[in-house]
Amino acid sequence: MRRRLIAGLALAVVASTVAACGSDKDSSGSGGSSGGVDKVKVGVIPIIDVAPLYLGQSKGFFKNRNIELTMEAGQGGAAIVPGVVSGEFQFGFSNLTSLMIAQTKNVPIKAVAAGVASTNAQGKDFGAVVVKAGSPIKTAKDLAGKKVSVNTLKNIGDTVTRESVRKAGGDPSNIQFVEMPFPNMQAALEKGDIDAAWVVEPQLSTIKAAGGREVASTFVDAAPNLTIAAYFTSQKLLSENADLAKRFTEAVNESLTYADGHPDEVRQVLSTYTKIDEKTRAAVVLPKWPVEINKTSAQTLAELGTKDGIFASAPDLNKLLP
Amino acid sequence: MTSARRGNPVLLGFAGLAGLLVILELLPRLGLVKDRYLPPASRIVAALADEAGTAAFWRALGDTLYAWAIGLLIAVAAGVLAGLVIGSVPVLRALTASTVEFLRPIPSVALIPLAVLLYGTRLGSTLLLVCYAAFWQVLVQVLYGVADVDPVAEETARSYRFSTWGRVRYVLWPTALPYVFTGVRLAASVALVLAITAELVIGAPGLGKEIATAQNSDAVPTMYALIVVTGALGVLINLLTRTGERRLLAWHQSVRGEVAI
């Protein structure tokens, strides 16, 4: 009898510790306000693109609007859209193609602010297709039928690369796209596993410094002043806390403008959340951070993506963009 | 004789480590491997020194150790309790055997998608993976330990009318303890592996995430420096659990035997 009692008690303790094992103390999550200050978590990828957010935070642009900002920097953007929809993050940062894919699948999200844009300067943009030194590939036209790496298949990388090839008079239909993380592309290029790589900063600078050559400024080719990414939120938050969304947009816009006007401070803030060394920090091409989402360029991106078959149906930009 | 025997392995160990460092320094310098992909040891050490000067590094180290310790603690507590209960009640043992054998081989990393769904990039994700992996290590060892109880000792205790608690305290526990320690030692290493993996793959705060950030930033020497730190952490944890085991089990034959040989 007593033995059974002890066994039962011990089992109960086990059950509760196992339950505690999974639990988490700081599961606030829902962006509750305390003392008029909204706690806001933004899902970001820790790359150069989101530097304005870190800069704006240190300048107090968010605090001024009663927003206590934290950046949740995960690996890769795949978790950001689900994170925003589930309420884990109040806002997120994602490229427009990913947002359009989500929109065509009726995921309830909406862009609230511009994220990052092309510099619109040929050969001086923060993303490009590169080849290794001595490669027979001279222009985008030569990429036809070649192996090109992108960080995510069926996303913005292959869309803009195809457009570069098309504009150079090549046939983009038989390019073999290979998926791999940006940091792996240099080694793959040098080993000859791929013929060309679609990369962004800081890998673009590193590859160029090692003798690599740029063959296409893909963002510039895709559309004039292409908006590449945006900050977005869930329809739920928009309907329940429109005021917070409005304040967040204002703070982001102020941050974007400030970042665009203070490139030195941007390079400085990179040291706080990336490990890009000082030399590379000084050398990287910074993107543009306009406040407006360029709707014409977004429309072009949508049309190109539809032509590629990335979207199940044409994205409805009126529903997605602010 | 014994002191020479004890001194030598340490010296030899250091000599081995020094040799490794020299090889790591020479390989890239002689152009056998590209220094962009494997920088010479001196540059890795320099990067390590730089890292040690940043608050972010110590915060990451703290995060990793915190997740490791909490996860291990929960797993050990749950594993020992569950092991004692399941092991000492034959019906429970028979009832759970197939379930344990089904769940135990599931690699913890396979639970990453689940962890991300439940906890995103927070500490909970790391804890889930660490607890799951470490729990089975302890549980299985404790089950073996309980099964190892000498039936004669058990019967003797019964005939002397030891209470249930008395039998657990004086018969079951001393027999199971060496197994528990083996379980803890295995779990401690596994917990570290899983903590780093969760941080690396999911992006939960800690050393693993710093490694991923260094990789994304093309900071190759820093990346290696952080990998060296995780290695050193593994060695330290192993030393710690071994020392703890030797101290706390000094009375036990397994440890006394180790010294005599």
B128 and chain A in contact, CB less than 8 A: yes
Res A29 pLDDT > 70: no
Rounded distance between C-alpha atoms, residue B143 and residue A312, angstroms: 54
**Contact status, residue A322 vs residue A294, Cβ threshold 8 Å:** no
Report which of A159, A155, A129 is spatially closest to residue A77, judged by C-alpha positions: A155
The whole model's pTM is what?
0.79
Q: How high is the pLDDT of residue B258?
A: 53
Res B261 pLDDT > 50: no
Chain B interface mutation, best of A5, A11, A21, A71, highest count of B Cβ atoms under 10 Å: A21
Q: Residues of B numbered 218-247 whose beta carbons fall under 8 angstroms of chain A's beta carbons: which are they?
A: 218-219, 222
Residue A285's contacts (CB-CB under 8 Å, 6 or more residues apart) are A119, A124, A125, A126, A201, A204, A205
Q: Residue A284, SS3?
A: coil
What would the mean pLDDT of B241-254 be, rounded to a whole number? 80
Rounded distance between C-alpha atoms, residue A58 and residue A68, angstroms: 11
Write the burial class of residue B18 (CB in 10 Å: 0-12 exposed, 13-18 middle, 19+ buried): exposed
Ranges A237-246, B20-29, B101-110, B226-235: which has the least confidence: B20-29
Q: How high is the pLDDT of residue B253?
A: 67
Contact B219 A3 (CB under 8 A): no
Q: Which residue in the set A13, A21, A72 is minimally distant from B81, CB to CB?
A: A13
Q: How high is the pLDDT of residue B59?
A: 92
Nearest C-alpha of chain A: how many angstroms from B199? Answer: 9
Res A24 pLDDT > 50: no
Q: How high is the pLDDT of residue A26?
A: 40
pLDDT over 90 for what percent of chain B?
29
A48: closest chain B residue by CA: B217
Q: What is the mean pLDDT of chain B?
A: 86
Res A198 pLDDT > 50: yes
Query: What tokens does A12 get?
Result: 């109960």
**Contact status, residue B139 vs residue B103, Cβ threshold 8 Å:** no
Query: What tokens does B100 get?
Result: 């344990």
Residue with tokens 């290695």: B231
Cα B222 to the chain's mean position, in Å? 24
Res A15 pLDDT > 50: no
pLDDT over 70 for what percent of chain B?
94
What would the mean pLDDT of A237-266 be, rounded to a whole number? 91
Three-state secondary structure readout of chain B = CHHHHHHHHHHHHHHHHHHHHHHHHHHHHCCCCCCCCCCCHHHHHHHHHHHHCCHHHHHHHHHHHHHHHHHHHHHHHHHHHHHHHHHHCHHHHHHHHHHHHHHCCCCHHHHHHHHHHHHCCCHHHHHHHHHHHHHHHHHHHHHHHHHCCCHHHHHHHHHCCCCHHHHHHHHHHHHHHHHHHHHHHHHHHHHHHHHHHHHHHHCCCCHHHHHHHHHHCCCHHHHHHHHHHHHHHHHHHHHHHHHHHHHHCCCCHHHHHHHHC
Rounded distance between C-alpha atoms, residue A180 and residue A158, angstroms: 13
Q: Which residues of chain B lie closer than 8 angstroms to A206, CB-CB?
A: 218
Q: Which residues of chain A lie closer than 8 angstroms to B88, CB-CB?
A: 7
Res B66 pLDDT > 90: yes
CA distances from B36 to A211, B19, B45 (A): 13, 22, 15
CA angle B84, B90, B96 (to 5 degrees): 75
B37 and chain A in contact, CB less than 8 A: yes
DSSP at A35: T
Q: Which residue in the set A21, A47, A186 is minimally distant from B78, CB to CB?
A: A21
Res A245 pLDDT > 60: yes
Q: Which residues of chain B lie closer than 8 angstroms to A202, CB-CB?
A: 217-218
Interface of A with B (CB under 8 A): 2-3, 6-7, 10-11, 13-14, 17-18, 20-27, 46-47, 72-75, 79, 82-83, 88-89, 182-183, 186-187, 190, 202-203, 206, 210, 273-277, 280
Q: How high is the pLDDT of residue B256?
A: 61
Residue type, A226: L
For B125-175, what is each residue's pLDDT tens digit?
Answer: 899 999 999 999 999 999 999 888 888 888 888 888 888 888 888 888 888
The packing angle between helices A2-22 and B55-88, to 10°, is: 150
Q: Are strands A67-73 and A33-34 parallel, antiparallel or unpaired?
A: unpaired
Rounded distance between C-alpha atoms, residue A265 and residue B54, angstroms: 20
For A104-142, what is each residue's pLDDT tens digit?
Answer: 888 899 999 999 999 988 888 999 999 988 888 888 888
Q: How high is the pLDDT of residue A75?
A: 59
Q: How high is the pLDDT of residue A28?
A: 40
Reported confidence tier of residue A275, pLDDT bands at 50, 70, 90: confident
Q: Residue A262, SS3?
A: coil
Q: Are strands A227-234 and A109-117 parallel, antiparallel or unpaired?
A: antiparallel
Ranges A10-19, A279-288, B52-61: which has the least confidence: A10-19
Q: Are strands A176-179 and A67-73 parallel, antiparallel or unpaired?
A: unpaired
Q: How high is the pLDDT of residue B32?
A: 80
Q: How high is the pLDDT of residue B254?
A: 65
pLDDT over 90 for what percent of chain A?
31
Q: How high is the pLDDT of residue B1?
A: 44
What would the mean pLDDT of A289-304 be, rounded to a whole number? 90
Query: What tokens does B43 get?
Result: 């540059």
Reported confidence tier of residue A23, pLDDT bands at 50, 70, 90: very low
Q: How high is the pLDDT of residue B69?
A: 94
Beta-bridged to residue A200, according to DSSP, are A127
**Contact status, residue A84 vs residue A182, Cβ threshold 8 Å:** no
For A56-94, what is each residue's pLDDT tens digit?
Answer: 999 999 999 988 998 887 655 667 888 888 888 899 999
Residue type, B244: G
Q: Residue A235, SS3?
A: helix
A86: closest chain B residue by CA: B117
Residue A128's contacts (CB-CB under 8 Å, 6 or more residues apart) are A198, A199, A204, A214, A215, A216, A217, A218
Q: What letters, b where the CB count within 10 A reaches 16 and e where it falls short, cover B147-175?
A: eebeeeeeeebeeeebebeebbeebbbeb
Reported confidence tier of residue A16, pLDDT bands at 50, 70, 90: very low
**Contact status, residue A17 vs residue B74, Cβ threshold 8 Å:** yes
For A137-187, what is each residue's pLDDT tens digit?
Answer: 888 888 888 999 998 888 888 899 999 998 888 888 889 999 998 888 998
Write the burial class of residue A184 (CB in 10 Å: 0-12 exposed, 13-18 middle, 19+ buried): middle
Looking only at Cα atoms, what is the longest distance across chain B? 75
